Structure 1
Amino acid sequence: MENLRELDKRHFIHPTSSIQQQQENGPKVIMEKGEGIYLYDKSDNAYIDAMSSLWNVNIGHGRVELADAAAEQMKKLAFSSAFSTFSHEPAIKLAEKIASISPANLNAVFFTSGGSEANDSAIKLVRHYWKIQGQPERQTIISLKRGYHGVAAASTSATGIPQFWGMAGHMMTGFTHAETPYGSSTDSAIASLRETIETEGAENVAAFLVEPVQGAGGVLIPPKDYLEKVRQVCDAYGILLIADEIITGFGRTGKMFAVENYGVQPDLLTFAKGVTSGYIPLGGVLVSDPIHEVLKEMSEGTLFHGFTYSGHPTAAAVALKNIEILEQEGLVENSREMGEALLQGFQNIKEKLNIVGNVRTMGLLGAVELVRNPGTNERFTSDQKVAPKVIDALHQRGVICRPVTYDNTDIICFAPPIIINKVQINTLVDKLYDAIHAVEKELGQVM
């Protein structure tokens, strides 16, 4: 074990991690195996994976069916390029399957290796779409503050969390951010979107990119009418609407795709994570029939965009098996039902403890906000690090979770595997209560 820790420090640069913390303390945990909703470390300690690792292990850990699907495909055709119109059966069947379960009118798929690539691809496709129609000035992408869209060049620039710009700058021009409805209202957020469009000039705007639920921003669930009014604004100004369903797709919100909760039809939809439940990298962009028609009729020559692993046959085979499991085991409906149970648990905690503010879920995507005064929503000061303390307390109790502290918020995010059952929900809620209660007592001693 100690040798692994030293090798980790010497050779492994961790993503989205503190390099100093790694060098001082080594890796926080070295995981050995996963089963169901649980992860096990090298000492066989069990942890509830309350975040599905990175919002992605939807059907849970240790599913032999996906390993078998990968092995079977690898033995037959592990990899073959999809460039220059070469094709293969797994990608064709997966594209057809995703189209069949997606919102109506979204019937063509461009495959990528993951979510950041999917959003970068959507941005390039919409700019190309306008360019071939004689409107090359339509370059601007509007997204939301606190939105997260990835860490590639364009997706970093579309992300509305300034901390992600600090490392290497804003990366690209042609991006701007409107106000989120979080902490305000539909009307004020829509007014901000209209103002942003007017400021940029509608003739210069290519698309509005939005998460149906802002995941990494803190599981920010918009008001019920927000996306409907967004669709109306986009239509009024002739702007394309891109739904970023990287986190919310494939059953996470109690529907196959989150936009179904709002009855909204996007022009493009990006996906990744849950399409394979994280067992192998895969992402993509769904485009509407009208956009596909323009691309087919007006694109001349080669579409100079593609990744080595676009339409990877092994990844496609795993995705097909993953979707089959989602459907056969009724996991989308389970996500809805267990999400309601999780919300009830959050509400019970809120009634018993003094520092719990807003609680919310949509399917098995949820959040608990911690505040100094729930009545006034007064927040803790950033130096108190309340959310990180609760995360540490949860870790001690065998729960892996995630804090969000942007803009002086203290939010605990949840996205457990959508195979979770009622007994496991109750265990998770009990551990959360104990963790928050312990931090609440600590704060009572120092405040």
Structure 2
Amino acid sequence: MKNLVELDKNHFIHPTSSIQQQQEYGPKIIVEKGDGIFLTDKEGNVFIDAMSSLWNVNVGHGRKELAEVAKQQMEKLAFSSAFSTFSHEPAILLAEKIASIAPEGLNAIFFTSGGSESNDTAIKIARHYWRIQGDTQKKKIVALKRGYHGVAAASTSATGIPEFWSMAGRLMEHVVHAETHYMKGTQIAIQSLREIIEQEGPENIAAFIVEPVQGAGGVIVPSEDYLIEARKVCNEYDILMIVDEVITGFGRTGKMFGIEHFNLQPDMITFAKGITSGYIQLGGVIISDHIHEVLKEKSKGTLFHGYTYSGHPVATAVGLKNLEIIEREGLVENARVMGNRLLKGFQKLQEEIDIVGDVRGLGLLGAIEFVQDRSNHQRFAPELQVAVKVIEALHQRGIICRPVTYEGVDIICFAPPLIINQYQVDTILERLQDAILDVRKQLG
């Protein structure tokens, strides 16, 4: 174990991690195995994975069916390029399956390796769509503050969390950010969107990209009318609407896609994470019939965009089996029912503990915000690190979840596997209450 810690410090640069923390303390834990909603480390400690690792292990850990289908596909056809119109059965069948469960009017799929690539692809397709119709100046992308869309060039620029720009800056021009609905409300957020469009000129804007629920921004659930009003604004100004379902897709919110809660049709949906439950890398973009028709008619010659692993045969075979499990085991409905139970537990904590501020959730995607004074939403001083302390207290109690501390907030997020049961939800809530009370006592 000691040797592994030193090897980690010497050779493994961790993504989205503090290098200094790693060098001082080593890895937080070294995970040995996963089973259901549980992870076990090299020392035998067992944790409830209340974040589905990175919002993505929807069907839970240790599903032998997924390992078996990957093995079978590797033995049959481990890899084949999808460039130059080469194809293979798993990619074709998964594309058809996704089209069958997607919102009406979205039936064509471009595969990627993950969420960042998916959002970069959607942005490029939006620009390409306008360019081949002669609208060469429609290049700008409107996104939201607190939105998260990934860490590739375009997706980093579209992300509305400044901390993600600190490493290398914003690498793509022509991205602007409107106000989020968080702490602003629908009216102000829609007004901001409209003002940004007017300021930049609708003739210059290719697309608006938005999450149904802002995940990494703190599980920010919009009001029922926000996305509907945003769609109306996009229609009014002839702007494409891209919905980022990298976190919310494939059952996470209690619907197959998060956008289904809001009864509207976007022009593109990006996905990743839950499509394979993290068992293998896969993502993609679901494209509307209208855009697909324009591409078929006007995109002459080669479409010079694609990744080596676009439509990877093993990944798409695993994706097919993963969707089969989600449907067969009724995990979308379970996410709705267990999510309601989790949210009611959060609301009970809000009633009983004075530092618990706003609580929110949609399916098995939830968050709790900590405040010094609930009456006016006064936040704690950042140096107190309240959310970080609660996360550590939970870790000591065998629960893994995630803090959000951007712009001085103290939020903890939850996104357990969709297989979670009533007893396990209640266990999380009991340990959460104990952890918050412990931190509350430390704060005096």
Note the alpha carbon deviations across 1:336-363, whole angstroms, 9 max, x for none.
0000000111111111111001111100
CA shift, 1:415, in A, is 0.3
Secondary structure, counterpart of 1:308 in structure 2: coil
Partner of 1:229: 229
| Paired residue secondary structure (2:347) | helix
Q: What stretches of structure 1 move > 4 A for 4+ residues in a row?
A: none
Are 1:430 and 2:408 counterparts? no
- Determine whether 1:183 maps to 2:183: yes
Task: Return the letter of the residue paired with 1:56.
Answer: N
User: Given residue 329 of structure 2, which amino acid in structure 1 is its aligned partner?
Assistant: E
The corresponding residue for 2:243 is: 243
**1:28 and 2:28 equivalent?**
yes
Structure 2 residue aligned with 1:41: 41
Q: Which residue of 1 aligns with 2:260?
A: 260
* 1:1-400 equivalent positions in 2, closer than 5 A: 1-400=1-400
User: What is the match of residue 401 of structure 1?
Assistant: 401
SS at structure 2 position matched to 1:440: helix
The residue type paired with residue 53 of structure 1 is S
Q: Which amino acid is 1:313 matched to?
A: P
CA RMSD of aligned residues (A): 0.5
CA distance in 1, matches of 2:107, 2:28: 43
CA distance in 2, matches of 1:160, 1:237: 22
Quick one: which amino acid aligns to residue 441 of structure 1? K
Equivalent-residue separation in structure 1 for 2:386 and 2:433 (angstroms): 14
Q: 1-side partners of 2:213 and 2:54: how far apart? A: 15
Letter in 2 for 1:320: L
Secondary structure (helix, strand or coil) at the match of 1:213 reads: coil
C-alpha separation between the residues in 2 aligned to 1:127 and 1:306?
15
Q: In the aligned structure 2, how far is the partner of 1:340 from the partner of 1:78? A: 41
Q: Find the residue that maps to 1:335 and give its secondary structure.
A: helix
- The aligned amino acid for 1:39 is L
Distance in 1 of aligned mates of 2:388 and 2:195: 36
Deviation of residue 44 (structure 1)?
1.2
Q: Which amino acid aligns with 1:157?
A: S
Q: TM-score, normalised by structure 1?
A: 0.99
> How many Å separate the matches in 1 of 2:264 and 2:363?
18
Q: Deviations over 1:279-308 (max 9, x none)?
A: 000000000000000000001100000000
Secondary structure class of the residue paired with 1:269: strand
Alpha-carbon distance in structure 1 between the residues aligned to 2:184 and 2:162 = 20
3-state secondary structure, aligned to 2:343: helix
Aligned partner letter, 2:377? N
CA–CA distance in structure 1, aligned partners of residues 137 and 351 of structure 2: 53
- Return the letter of the residue paired with 1:224: E
2: distance between equivalents of 1:208 and 1:325? Answer: 33
Aligned residue pairs total 444
- Looking at structure 1, the residues matched to 358 and 7 of structure 2 have their Cα atoms a distance apart, in angstroms, of 42
- Alpha-carbon distance in 2 for matches of 1:310, 1:184: 39
Residues 77-124 of structure 1 deviation map (CA, whole Å, 9 limit, x = unaligned)? 010000000000000000000000000000000000000000000000
What SS class does the counterpart of residue 266 from structure 1 fall into?
coil
Letter matched to residue 93 of structure 1:
L
Q: Distance in 2 between matches of 1:198 and 1:78?
A: 50
Deviation string 1:221-267 (CA, Å, 9 cap, x unpaired) is 01110000001000000000000000000000000000000101100
**Distance (whole Å) between structure 2 residues aligned to residue 195 and residue 53 of structure 1:** 38
Q: Structure 1 CA distance, aligned partners of 2:93 and 2:204?
A: 37
What are the superposed Cα offsets for residues 383-404 of structure 1, whole Å, 9 maximum, x if unpaired? 1100000000000000001000
Deviation at 1:408, TM superposition (A): 1.0
Letter in 2 for 1:350: Q
SS in 1 for 2:368: strand
Which residue type is aligned with residue 400 of structure 1? Answer: I
Query: Following the alignment from structure 2 to structure 1, what is the Cα–Cα distance between the partners of residues 252 and 375?
Result: 31
Normalising by the residue count of structure 2, what TM-score does the alignment of the two structures yield?
1.00
CA distance in 1, matches of 2:154, 2:50: 30
The alpha carbon displacement at 1:43 in A equals 1.1
Q: Look up the equivalent residue of 2:278 and give its one-letter code.
A: G
Distance in 2 (alpha carbons) for counterparts of 1:199 and 1:186: 20
**Which residue type is aligned with residue 387 of structure 2?**
A
1:412 alignment partner, SS class:
strand
Report Cα offsets for 1:303-325 as digits up to 9, x if no partner: 00000000000000000000000
Cα distance in 2, alignment partners of residues 223 and 144 from structure 1: 15
Alpha-carbon offset, residue 75 of structure 1: 0.6
Task: Measure, in 2, the Cα distance between the counterparts of 1:326 and 1:246.
Answer: 16
Stretch moving more, 80-89 or 399-408: 399-408
How many Å apart are 1:375 and its aligned residue? 2.0
